[in-house]
Amino acid sequence: MKIRALFRGLLFLGLAAGLTVPALPSKPAQEAAAADKQMMHDRLQEAVKQLNLNDDQKDKLKEVFAGSRSKRESIMNDSSLTDDQKRGKMKLLHQDTMSKVNHILTPDQQEQLKEKLAAAKSERNPT
């Protein structure tokens, strides 16, 4: 009987201790999301490089990508944001970056970029 009471007490103590430990955000999940965003950014830059850009376009795009990179890092390192908030901000950043890129490219280059990104997306997500 005393052994059962001791066992229940230990079990209860273990459960209580487990419940008092705060849940920590999953670092591997955050790092995986950051790596995925980095890969998307790299794929965009790689696709843009294949568009026969003139020197002026190259300089402007370099500035756009540098600004985008610093904003992305700022978002990913902001511990006050939830994962959903980070995803939302990253989506807005992506839209803003694409808008800036499209303003720099000619209509023909925009179409080529759209095709390259669609091909890369279908490679990543074959359905």
* pLDDT given at position 57: 92
* pLDDT given at position 46: 77
* pLDDT given at position 18: 54
* pLDDT given at position 29: 54
* pLDDT given at position 12: 58
Residue 88 carries which side chain, given as an amino acid letter? G
Q: Determine phi and psi for 23, rounding to 5 degrees.
A: -75, 130
Average pLDDT per 10 consecutive residues for the chain, totaling 127 residues: 61 55 52 55 74 90 91 92 92 92 93 86 72
Tell me how far apart the alpha carbons of residues 81 and 72 are, in angstroms, rounded to a whole number.
Answer: 13
* pLDDT given at position 24: 47
* pLDDT given at position 16: 55
